[in-house]
Amino acid sequence: MLKRIFIIILLSSVLLYALDNLTIYNDNLAVFKTELDLHLQKGIQNYLYNDIPERIEPSSLIFSSKNKNLFLFSQNYEYDLADTDAILKKYINSNISIIMKDNTEFDGILLFFNMNTIGLQDEETKELNLLNKQEIKSIKLLNLPSNFYTKPTLNWQLNAPLTGKYPVTISYITRGLSWYVTYNAVLIQNKVQISPWVTINNQSGKSYDQVVLKLVAGELNKVDTYRAGNVLYSKDAMMERSSPTFEEKSFADYHLYTLDQKASINDKQIKQMLLFDTKEITIERIYRYDSSQYSNNKVKSTINFKNTKKNGLGIPLPKGIVKLYQYDDADNNIEFIGEDDLPHTSIDQNVLLTIGNAFDVIANTKIIKDIKIGNDIEQQFEVKIQNKKIEPIKLIISHYIGNNNYKIIEKNFEYTEKDAYTITIERNIKAGETDVIRWTQRIKRR
């Protein structure tokens, strides 16, 4: 029996009638889910679906139908898009007409073309005309070659039991969508007012209108290269939410932030939204000095806090950039004082942010004595810290010894072992004072 094959084109303007879902990951990756009505004829047919992003991973498509007798058994991803050179390539050894900017017209057989020139042979005289592409006004062709598309297209081969309308749900992975958080933090004495803004960058080649937006924070394992794969089928499952802001929850090994009010994200658009309301947290200002026999005199100014409910937070914080500001008391203007990266931070985790290098806190490490005793090396160190600020400071010194077989034999301070190679010294230094610590260390050589 002869089977009839139909070709149906689904236009972008009539695609979306139901709830669309867009889930964006940190690492240039997103999952899009939508529901469609396919108007099909009975039997085997090709269905061209072109409302897809340019950076889709076609092998990731999940296709499901409420009618279990509708079967998708083949898919082609058509990305041989029509442009001038691609079309001319199909017309090699065929007849075309070219009109130049001075309205001179050439007819003939297209023999070749490159970046600058088109070679056209007159059918009667066999003369070869070399035409400068820059001087061409238009090119006339008989028609557009077959298998050309103006947009990336999924070409589905379907088998429908009857003529009619078939509701289906599809989802797929696309590249070109990413998000990150900028935490705007204003320092007010020992408090910080922090406002997190989500920035979404859409370079996928598709706009997303009135979607349920979800953001996933975490480091997803994803193979970079595309792999061929079968189209998957899935059961329909969707939870509706009604919160007017981002709602956070644990999801697999990640954290999911859902915006229940619908959002629209245009292609080639950067969109910003508030992740959660401004929080005020208590912080501690600590200066930090990394000491060794090769260190410089730079002292880092840092702020430190714990991500707890008691401290005004207690929510998982996705990675981002913290931009720090402070008011100038003279005119009450807000001034930028530094920024630092914030890694993914779970509840009850400590946060350390570096503002910059302190101008009025100066440190210096000096070796007073360096002698060899048998196979051992004995060194005497001095660290001098000058606090030229008008307020007292807390300073943490991390001194790198560089050998795990050491012993501190003389000292004028208390310390803790940070790791096998480093000791940590905590000092409180009054305004305008200089603090000097000294110790002798012996390193055993095997």
Question: How is 378-394 classified by DSSP, letter by letter?
Answer: EEEEEEEEEE-SSS-EE
More confident residue, 294 or 146: 294
Residue 6 has pLDDT above 70, yes or no: no
Q: Is residue 318, in this structure, part of any structural domain at all?
A: no
Residue 33 has pLDDT above 80, yes or no: yes
The domain spanning residue 303 has which CATH number? 2.60.40
Q: Which of 378, 393, 179 is nearest to 284 (CA)?
A: 393
The domain spanning residue 90 has which CATH number? 2.30.30.100
Task: Report yes or no: 131 and 118 within 8 Å, Cβ to Cβ.
Answer: yes
Task: Report yes or no: 172 and 206 within 8 Å, Cβ to Cβ.
Answer: no
pLDDT at res. 139: 86
Number of neighbours of residue 164 by Cβ within 10 angstroms: 13
Q: Is residue 339, in this structure, part of any structural domain at all?
A: no
Q: Is residue 267, in this structure, part of any structural domain at all?
A: yes
More confident residue, 239 or 146: 146
pLDDT at res. 3: 36
Name the DSSP letter for residue 52.
Answer: S
Same domain? 162 vs 27? yes
Coil, strand, or helix at residue 84?
Answer: helix
**Reported confidence tier of residue 148, pLDDT bands at 50, 70, 90:** low
Q: Is residue 371, in this structure, part of any structural domain at all?
A: yes
Q: Is residue 334, in this structure, part of any structural domain at all?
A: no
Q: How many structural domains are present in the chain? A: 3
Q: For 37-78, what is each residue's pLDDT tens digit?
A: 999 999 999 898 988 998 999 989 999 998 989 999 898 887
Same domain? 288 vs 404? yes
Strand partners of residue 121: 109, 128
- Segment 412-421 mean pLDDT: 90
Distance of CA 289 to the CA centre of its chain: 33
Name the DSSP letter for residue 420.
Answer: T
Q: What is the mean pLDDT of the chain?
A: 84
Q: For 369-405, what is each residue's pLDDT tens digit?
A: 989 888 889 999 999 999 999 999 999 999 998 888 8
Q: Look up residue 59 and give its two tokens.
A: 């092998």
Q: How far, in Å, CA of 301 to CA of 319, rounded?
A: 21
Q: Is residue 33, in this structure, part of any structural domain at all?
A: yes
**Reported confidence tier of residue 222, pLDDT bands at 50, 70, 90:** low
Same domain? 7 vs 111? no
Residue 155: enclosing H or E segment and its boundaries? strand 153-160
Same domain? 263 vs 411? no
Residue 360 has pLDDT above 60, yes or no: yes
Residue with token string 């000096």: 366
Residue 112 has pLDDT above 50, yes or no: yes
**Reported confidence tier of residue 147, pLDDT bands at 50, 70, 90:** low
Number of neighbours of residue 392 by Cβ within 10 angstroms: 12
Residue 159 has pLDDT above 90, yes or no: yes
Domain around 4: 1-80+149-178+205-275
Q: Is residue 200, in this structure, part of any structural domain at all?
A: no
pLDDT at res. 83: 66
**Reported confidence tier of residue 7, pLDDT bands at 50, 70, 90:** very low
Share of the chain above pLDDT 70, in %: 87
pLDDT at res. 336: 94
pLDDT at res. 261: 77
Q: How far, in Å, CA of 173 to CA of 193, rounded?
A: 37
Same domain? 303 vs 405? yes
- Segment 12-34 mean pLDDT: 75
Same domain? 89 vs 76? no
Task: Report yes or no: 129 and 25 within 8 Å, Cβ to Cβ.
Answer: no
Same domain? 74 vs 88? no
Picking from 255, 275, 295, the residue at the C-terminal end of a domain is: 275
Picking from 228, 257, 275, the residue at the C-terminal end of a domain is: 275
Q: Is residue 39, in this structure, part of any structural domain at all?
A: yes
Picking from 275, 303, 333, the residue at the C-terminal end of a domain is: 275
Same domain? 443 vs 416? yes
Same domain? 375 vs 423? yes
CA distances from 58 to 8, 74, 225 (A): 19, 12, 13
Per DSSP, the residues of 134-152 read: GGEEEEE-SSPPTT-BSS-
Same domain? 131 vs 155? no
**Reported confidence tier of residue 290, pLDDT bands at 50, 70, 90:** very high
pLDDT at res. 119: 93
Task: Report yes or no: 129 and 121 within 8 Å, Cβ to Cβ.
Answer: yes
**The whole model's pTM is what?**
0.70
Residue 361 has pLDDT above 70, yes or no: yes
Residue 2 has pLDDT above 70, yes or no: no
Same domain? 133 vs 218? no
Q: Which of 214, 218, 217 is nearest to 265 (CA)?
A: 214
Q: Compute the half-sphere exposure of residue 168: CA atoms within 13 Å on the CB side of its CA.
A: 25
Strand partners of residue 339: 323
Q: Which of 304, 320, 349 is nearest to 215 (CA)?
A: 320
Task: Report yes or no: 188 and 214 within 8 Å, Cβ to Cβ.
Answer: no
Which residues of 295-421 form beta strands (DSSP E)?
Answer: 300-306, 320-328, 333-342, 350-357, 361-373, 376-387, 393-400, 406-411, 416-419
Same domain? 298 vs 414? yes
Q: Which of 143, 146, 141, 89 is nearest to 118 (CA)?
A: 89
